[in-house]
Amino acid sequence: MSTALIGAVESGLLYALMALGVFITYRILDFPDLTVDGSFTTGAAIATVLTISGIHPLLSLLCAFVGGGLAGLCTGLLHTKGKINGLLSGIIMMIALYSINLRIMGKPNLTLRNEANLFDLMPPLWFGLILVIIVKIALDLFFKTNLGLSLRATGDNKKMITSFGANTHLTTILGVSLSNALVAASGALIAFSTNQANNNMGVGMIVIGLASVIIGEAIFGRKTIVRTTLAVVFGIIIYRLIYAIALRIPGVDSMDMKLITAVIIILALIIPTINSSINSKKTSRKRAEEVVSGLLSKEVK
Amino acid sequence: MLKVENVSKLFNPNTIDEKVALLNANLHLKQGDFVTIIGSNGAGKSTLMNIISGGIKQDLGKVIINGEDVTRYNEHERSKWIGRVFQDPMAGTAPRMTIEENLAIAYKRGLSRGLSFGVTSKTKVIFKEELSKLGIGLENRMSAQVGLLSGGERQALSLLMATFTKPKILLLDEHTAALDPSRADLVTELTEKIVRELNLTTLMVTHNMEQAIKLGNRLIMMDKGQIILQVDAERKPDLTVSKLLGEFEQISGKALSDDRVVLS
């Protein structure tokens, strides 16, 4: 059991870059970007192919990051310059990437067995932990810079940031690119840790990303950027833990993976809503009692 | 400072909803002019403002700011020269960011935004000093999220953000209309003070005739996409509400009919 839990934490850390990427588009830019399902595989494909061809795994990881960024760049361009609806531009890129990924890999499956591996350098748990800490801090700092502020304002109030001279096309493209670069890097990490890449490994990734953002925020709140990025990292780890535990329920197996994901995200969405409605009912009832008893006692006098 | 030359704008061309929003509008503001604009609904006031800011592109004519033809510039490129406060108090600030972060964004108006920090100990001092000029205590809440402020506070902050980098032109689009009377008075007072102190070239749309007469050194009246009356700096001090209504009836041949116009 404990190895399973450690495994869940480990894969949580490797998926955390993807969750942070989804957080950038979904929360910061307020742009529901579905490119993720494609760019995750793109990252895995690039890293695997390059590693097999003899390039150092670290460099391959970097190339995966850049490749994902290019995919995001295309989505951003479609949305801003092509004026295509955000959801639709993500879907278009996702479907385009399906073929592009096949072209990169040459066939639907590639194995990294008997090849160099990123995790020869350091165990995945430590590598993941260090990388996630670095990326989280870098993102926190970036969102405090003038450029980062204009990116946040783009998602918060487009009209306002335009009136102060920021080009929202540029900030959107930058944000979507950065997001998909992180997603692709995460895909590469997963390829290294599972020793393989296949053309379907990104399917449903956006839902997992959203689930972690929502779970994390529901538990740890989202008052500041620093807190929210931490919440997202914990969110994906918690998701992986729930998932690992769910798989241990008798009768449940890996076929049910997507269904489990759907159930987890439904719960993460519904529970906070129920909680807040119970709370607001409680407070309004309490206050009503105070007000009514106050008015009644006045009447008596 | 600001020239609007023969500007026309058609909405929904070639449809049954075709509407002439602006017809050959001409306007010339000198440095330091404070012009108030009044007119009934659909007179073209907001269209004129949007064409100056670049939010809407005119069909014909030119916009010139500070001697430079900006007709082809986008809204974000023009905002180097133009500060704006919108009618909606929510429109001018970013709600999920703090007061100091909002100010940091405004502070970089028209400049490139790089990887230096927006809020530093140095800029904080400047922000605090500017906020204290508003006199509503915001200088003590600089790390509060703007979404937590009241409408009046947000509009005062918007006004500060629009002006404290001294833009060449200030556009105020009914910026007190959505506030309750006491808050509206506060924002009006602040507007007067800031425009006077910074000597800003200002264009203000209002539905309040009294306000239009009281504020500024010039007044224009619009109807059906045309500027039908210009009151210059010499005649402005003698203007009253009844005189203005009389002028309107005389020019347009009808009474000023708009339930949103506040007469007193």
pLDDT exceeds cutoff 60 at B260: no
Which of A145, A160, A167 is opposite residue B93, by nearest beta carbon?
Answer: A160
Query: Among candidates A99, A29, A18, which has minimal Cα distance to A64?
Result: A18
Number of Cβ within 10 Å of residue B178's Cβ equals 17
- Between chains, do B111 and A160 touch, taking CB under 8 Å as contact? no
- Mean pLDDT in residue range B6-22: 88
What pLDDT sits at residue A8? 92
pLDDT exceeds cutoff 90 at A55: yes
- What's the start-to-end Cα distance of chain B, in Å? 32
What pLDDT sits at residue B239? 82
Quick one: closest CA in B to A154, which residue?
B94
pLDDT exceeds cutoff 60 at A34: yes
Quick one: closest CA in A to B165, which residue?
A164
- Between chains, do B97 and A145 touch, taking CB under 8 Å as contact? no
Query: Residue A138 — very low, low, confident or very high, per pLDDT cuts 50/70/90?
Result: very high
Chain A residues with at least one Cβ partner in B under 8 Å: 142, 144-150, 152-153, 156-157, 159-168
What pLDDT sits at residue A1? 66
Measured CA to CA, the distance from residue B45 to residue A187 in angstroms comes to 53
pLDDT exceeds cutoff 90 at B226: no
Which residues of chain A neighbour B84 with C-beta distances below 8 Å?
Answer: 163
- The residue of B73, B105, B112, B171 whose CB has the most chain A CBs within 10 angstroms, and thus the best one to mutate to test that interface, is B105
> How many degrees, rounded to 5, is the angle at CA B191 between CA B186 and CA B196?
130
Which of B53, B83, B118 is opposite residue A146, by nearest beta carbon?
Answer: B118
What pLDDT sits at residue B18? 86
pLDDT exceeds cutoff 90 at A297: no
- What's the start-to-end Cα distance of chain A, in Å? 68
Instruction: Name the CA dihedral angle for A272, A275, A279, A285, rounded to a multiple of 10 degrees.
Output: 130
Token pair of A105 as six digits: 């890999």
What pLDDT sits at residue A48? 96
3-state secondary structure of B87: coil
b/e code B187-200 from CB counts within 10 Å (16+ = b): bbebbeebbeebeb
Q: What digits encode the pLDDT tens for the residues B88-124?
A: 999 999 999 999 999 999 999 988 888 999 999 999 9
- Mean pLDDT in residue range B237-254: 79
pLDDT mean across residues, chain B: 89
Give the gap in angstroms from C-alpha A18 to the nearest C-alpha of chain B: 23
Cβ contacts from A onto B, under 8 A:
88
- Between chains, do A160 and B91 touch, taking CB under 8 Å as contact? yes
Q: What digits encode the pLDDT tens for the residues B121-137?
A: 999 999 999 999 888 99
Token pair of B196 as six digits: 């006077």
Position B97, amino acid: M
Residue B129 host element (H or E): helix B121-134
Query: Among candidates B185, B138, B129, which has minimal Cα distance to B158?
Result: B138
Query: Residue B228 — very low, low, confident or very high, per pLDDT cuts 50/70/90?
Result: confident
- Between chains, do B162 and A165 touch, taking CB under 8 Å as contact? no
Quick one: closest CA in A to B171, which residue?
A163
Which residues of chain A neighbour B116 with C-beta distances below 8 Å?
Answer: 145-146
Contact yes or no for A68/A39 (Cβ under 8 A): yes
Give the gap in angstroms from C-alpha B105 to the nearest C-alpha of chain A: 7
Number of Cβ within 10 Å of residue B172's Cβ equals 28
B84: β partners: B171
Q: What digits encode the pLDDT tens for the residues A220-268?
A: 888 899 999 999 999 999 999 998 888 888 888 888 888 888 888 888 8
pLDDT mean across residues, chain A: 92
Number of Cβ within 10 Å of residue B224's Cβ equals 16
Contact yes or no for A137/A233 (Cβ under 8 A): no
Strand duo A109-111 + B34-39: pairing:
unpaired
> How many degrees, rounded to 5, is the angle at CA B95 between CA A86 and CA A206?
35
What pLDDT sits at residue B261? 58
Give the gap in angstroms from C-alpha A223 to the nearest C-alpha of chain B: 9
Which of A156, A163, A164 is opposite residue B97, by nearest beta carbon?
Answer: A156
Burial class of A276 by CB neighbour count within 10 A (0 to 12, 13 to 18, 19+): exposed
pLDDT exceeds cutoff 60 at B257: no
Give the gap in angstroms from C-alpha A35 to the nearest C-alpha of chain B: 26
Measured CA to CA, the distance from residue A36 to residue A86 in angstroms comes to 13
- The residue of A29, A142, A160, A167 whose CB has the most chain B CBs within 10 angstroms, and thus the best one to mutate to test that interface, is A160
3-state secondary structure of B61: strand
What pLDDT sits at residue A265? 83
Which residues of chain A neighbour B53 with C-beta distances below 8 Å?
Answer: 163
Position A191, amino acid: A
Q: What digits encode the pLDDT tens for the residues B25-83?
A: 899 999 999 999 988 888 888 899 999 999 888 899 999 999 889 999 999 999 999 99
What pLDDT sits at residue A252? 85
pLDDT exceeds cutoff 60 at B259: no
Chain B residues with at least one Cβ partner in A under 8 Å: 53, 74-77, 79-80, 82-84, 86, 90-97, 101, 104-106, 108-111, 113-119, 161-162
Which of A144, A149, A164 is opposite residue B79, by nearest beta carbon?
Answer: A164
What pLDDT sits at residue B264? 42
- Between chains, do B108 and A146 touch, taking CB under 8 Å as contact? yes
SS (H, E, C) chain A: CHHHHHHHHHHHHHHHHHHHHHHHHHHHCCCCCCCHHHHHHHHHHHHHHHHHCCCCHHHHHHHHHHHHHHHHHHHHHHHHCCCCCHHHHHHHHHHHHHHHHHHHHCCCEEECCCCCCHHHCCCHHHHHHHHHHHHHHHHHHHCCEHHHHHHHHHHHCHHHHHHCCCCHHHHHHHHHHHHHHHHHHHHHHHHHHHCEEECCCCCCHHHHHHHHHHHHHHHHCCCCHHHHHHHHHHHHHHHHHHHHHHHCCCCCCHHHHHHHHHHHHHHHHHHHHHHHHHHHHHHHHHHHHHHHHHHHHHHHC
ipTM: 0.88
Which of B82, B83, B104 is opposite residue A149, by nearest beta carbon?
Answer: B104
What pLDDT sits at residue A300? 64
Contact yes or no for A240/A247 (Cβ under 8 A): no
Scanning the structure block, which residue is given the tokens 């006045």? A298
Which of A142, A161, A167 is opposite residue B105, by nearest beta carbon?
Answer: A161
Measured CA to CA, the distance from residue B22 to residue B26 in angstroms comes to 10
- The residue of B49, B76, B146 whose CB has the most chain A CBs within 10 angstroms, and thus the best one to mutate to test that interface, is B76
- Between chains, do A165 and B109 touch, taking CB under 8 Å as contact? yes
pLDDT exceeds cutoff 70 at B258: no
Measured CA to CA, the distance from residue B4 to residue B23 in angstroms comes to 12
Give the gap in angstroms from C-alpha B215 to the nearest C-alpha of chain A: 24
- Between chains, do A150 and B105 touch, taking CB under 8 Å as contact? yes
Lowest-pLDDT choice from A120-129, A206-215, B247-256: B247-256
pLDDT exceeds cutoff 80 at B254: no
Quick one: closest CA in A to B114, which residue?
A147
